[in-house]
Amino acid sequence: MAINNNNKNTSFLFPHTNSTVLPDPSKFFSPNLLSTPLPTNSFFQNFVLKNGDQPEYIHPYLIKSSNSSLSVSYPSRSSNSKAISQEFKPDLTITSSKKEKGSNGKHVVSSYSDLSVTLDIPSTNMSFFLVRGSPYLTLSVTKPTPLSITTIHDIIYFSSNDSSTKFTIRFNNNQAWILYASIKIKLRHSRSEITSEEAFSGTIRIALLPDSDSKHEAVLDRYSFCYPVSGDAIFREPFCVEYKWEKKGWGDLLMLAHPLHIQLLSKNDCNNVTVLNNFKYKSIDGELVGVVGDAWLLKTDPISITWYSTKGVKEKHNERIVSSLYKDVEGLNSSSIKSTSCHTFGKLIARAARSLQQV
């Protein structure tokens, strides 16, 4: 934005201000990302607020990063008359049994996009590609590192294939997980921990086996070689959005779609997309269904969008509405907002802005 001052164009800068509520998230971002504005209200914001150690829901898992480790939970749900919530229990916690000297243990956001965020944990030489809708948790171990995977459950079954690149793990809570390695890795296990016998460098992918049913194992095996590292939501035309993922490895990409995705997925424009109707995960947003393809086109029927009422307001009600709005605005005294939650604080400020615009 530019303003004219004595016929000279100068850049306009909003004045700097310090908030007692909003934290400074910059310490969690890689230095190369700080030259541009940081995202607000992003799907990964719990990773960069306060200590960055609160879980974030990245379908179909709850993910938490803290103390040089990353934990993954396939959440159960609880409900009452007011809300439905998801319970975080660290089904798996991934770290290194030997931390790098001089590292403080915190994670760093090294890249992000519309549908993904990459978390680096320098003390463990690990980078996690957290992509919304991926049934696999994917991590890259950037240099030889001894691995440690712990669980709050008891390991009641542990096996590997002949090449030591696929491992099946079953817990006493009826969960089954499958671990894939890009190269041979020797793993041993105790009651609640899996460790590598030697330092490992390569790619690890871990996925929950839906319903612990072996009939779904072939699907996870088939698509385990191709993984997403980022994803964009692209608006090319009205009432249409394209999801497009950047991928590595080889083969086709397996992702998960929630019910609205399935409803809007345009079969006519997605010849390279296949829906796996019987491959499903549970989620707070409804069943997530497997979809094979690295580009989806989601289309909706054209609808009329306007800020104002399409039928208008009867004139006899104008005075009452205006009077009510003025009372609302008078009650929006920013000094009375005592919330220490940046999420709640932001909602209150946004409500005030909308009320002022209406008046």
CB-based burial of residue 158 (10 Å sphere; 0-12 exposed, 13-18 middle, 19+ buried)?
middle
Residue whose C-alpha is closest to residue 296's, from 323, 320, 274, 325: 274
Percent of the chain with pLDDT over 70: 91
List, for residues 69-88, the tens digit of each pLDDT value: 999 999 998 888 888 899 99
pLDDT of residue 6 exceeding 60, the answer is: no
Where residue 116 falls among pLDDT bands split at 50, 70, 90? Answer: very high
Determine the 3-state secondary structure of 26 from DSSP.
Answer: helix
**pLDDT at 48 exceeding the cut of 90:** yes
pLDDT digits (tens, 9 = 90+) for 293-323: 999 999 998 888 787 777 888 889 889 988 8
Q: Is pLDDT above 50 for 327?
A: yes
φ/ψ (deg, to 5) at 209 = -85, 115
- Mean pLDDT over 136-145 rounds to 97
Which of 217, 35, 232, 27 lies closest to 115, judged by CA?
Answer: 232
DSSP assignment letter at 29: B
Between residues 145 and 21, the one the model is more confident about: 145
| 60 prior amide bond cis, ω within 30 | yes
- Which residue type sits at 208? L
Residue ranges per structural domain of the chain: 19-227, 230-299, 315-358
Question: What is the rounded distance in angstroms from the CA atom of residue 32 to the CA atom of residue 49?
Answer: 19
Phi, psi of 8 (to 5 degrees): -115, 135
User: What are the tens digits of pLDDT across the range 172-228?
Assistant: 999 999 999 999 999 999 999 999 999 999 999 999 999 999 999 999 999 999 999
What's residue 4's pLDDT? 44
**Per-residue CA distances from 307 to 137, 310, 312 (Å):** 41, 9, 11
Euclidean distance between CA atoms 11 and 3, whole angstroms: 7
Count other C-beta atoms under 10 Å from residue 16's C-beta. Answer: 5
Average pLDDT of every residue of the chain: 89
The pLDDT score that the predictor gives to residue 9 is 54
Q: What is the CATH architecture of 19-227?
A: Distorted Sandwich (2.70)
